[in-house]
Chains A and B, each alone.
Chain A
Amino acid sequence: MDKVRKFIWFPTPYHSILLWVVWQILHDFNHGHMVLGAVFAIVIPWIAAPLSEKEPVAKKPLKVLTYVFRLLFDIVVSNYDVAKRVLQSNRSLKPAFIAVPLAINEPLPLTIFTSSVSLTPGTVSVELSEDRQWLYVHVLHLEDEQLLINLIKHRYETPLKEIFGC
């Protein structure tokens, strides 16, 4: 057993705010639910915070916004791409596995990175190597391997590295 933690009123302030806002959206900003939501937002982190590890906080909030909009745009583009492949014949398909070298290895940025890869240009992240240096990705239609790796790294990994400063 490690030693008893010091009591903190707001162990995870961002989560508290998020919890409160989500609760309000679910209950249409009702006055009674504002109080109830506040109680939950304070009490739940007391219980939940010791269970989770410390995660890096986004250091550049503005970049997060540009990242989100870029991701949404890419999702729409990749949808169009995949839809085109669906309507074409299967024979023109060139599926492949590729290995993307990773420059980030903290859990939260890595999760966001692999999720972004799964959501965009005909790629699904399949597996990580044990040392977290490589991400294996399945590609629906591969034309130029190196080009795709550079694109993924440049579009998602570099901004994530800047956002989390790791």
Chain B
Amino acid sequence: MSIFLEIVVSVLLILGSIVTLIGSIGLAKFPDYFTRLHAPTKASTVGVGCILIASMIFFSVELGHVNLKEALISIFLLITAPVAAHMLAKAGLHYKVNMEDNTQNQHLAKKAYLHQSPDDE
């Protein structure tokens, strides 16, 4: 494996780890349920994406043929992550979890809970 590819793989691994770490910190420090949802959904896609690309390059070179399994993993992750986030947000809404006081438009959360449109009485 050439030194150039090794550098590329290492940089991708470190970048992926940093993004995942920031996502985890966000999960721990954001003030309420809904804001906490934001950090992991985004960090997981790019963080895991970087690590998977690094793995794809490494094993393609090591095994001597193109290895696309990681590409499949990242595609499935891209499809499932937003659905999971949506279901979590929905569950939070229906359990009426506490919101940060400075959340704007809190009346919209009530409308969403009742599946109404915003101008309904």
Q: How far is the CA of A117 from the CA of B65 in the complex (A)?
A: 36
Judge whether B39 and A118 touch: CB under 8 Å.
Answer: no
Of A75, A115, A124, A138, the residue contacting B46 (CB under 8 A) is: A75
Judge whether B82 and A76 touch: CB under 8 Å.
Answer: no
Chain B residues lying within 8 Å of A19, measured Cβ to Cβ, are: none
In the complex, A146 has a CB within 8 A of chain B: no
Q: How far is the CA of A76 from the CA of B46 in the complex (A)?
A: 7
Chain A residues lying within 8 Å of B89, measured Cβ to Cβ, are: 124-127, 138
Chain A residue nearest to B110 (CB atoms) is: A97
Chain A residues lying within 8 Å of B79, measured Cβ to Cβ, are: 115
Query: Which of A33-41, A48-56, A129-137, A152-160 contacts the other chain?
Result: A129-137
Q: How far is the CA of A79 from the CA of B26 in the complex (A)?
A: 12
Per-residue contact bits, chain B 105-117, to A (CB 8 Å; 1 contact, 0 not): 1101101110111
Number of chain A residues whose Cβ lies closer than 8 Å to a Cβ of chain B: 43
Q: How far is the CA of A133 from the CA of B111 in the complex (A)?
A: 13
Judge whether A119 and B117 touch: CB under 8 Å.
Answer: no
In the complex, A83 has a CB within 8 A of chain B: yes
In the complex, A128 has a CB within 8 A of chain B: yes
Judge whether B115 and A124 touch: CB under 8 Å.
Answer: no
Q: How far is the CA of A117 from the CA of B41 in the complex (A)?
A: 11
Cβ of A51 to closest chain B Cβ, rounded Å: 19
Chain A residues lying within 8 Å of B22, measured Cβ to Cβ, are: 83, 86-87
Within 8 A of A (CB), among B43-100: 43, 45-46, 65, 67-69, 71-72, 78-79, 81-83, 85-86, 89-90, 93, 99-100
Chain A residues lying within 8 Å of B108, measured Cβ to Cβ, are: 97-99, 136
Chain A residues lying within 8 Å of B115, measured Cβ to Cβ, are: 127-130
Chain B residues lying within 8 Å of A131, measured Cβ to Cβ, are: 117
- Which among A83, A97, A114 has the highest number of chain B CB atoms within 10 Å? A97
The 8 tightest CB contacts between A and B, nearest first, are A118-B82, A96-B104, A86-B26, A136-B112, A115-B82, A97-B108, A127-B112, A130-B115
Chain B residues lying within 8 Å of A122, measured Cβ to Cβ, are: 38, 42
Please name 29 pairs of A and B residues whose Cβ atoms are closer than 8 Å in the assembled complex, sorted by A. A25-B71, A75-B42, A76-B46, A79-B43, A79-B45, A79-B46, A83-B26, A93-B35, A93-B100, A94-B102, A95-B100, A95-B103, A97-B103, A97-B105, A97-B106, A97-B112, A98-B108, A99-B117, A115-B79, A115-B86, A116-B82, A122-B42, A124-B86, A126-B93, A129-B118, A130-B116, A134-B118, A136-B108, A138-B34
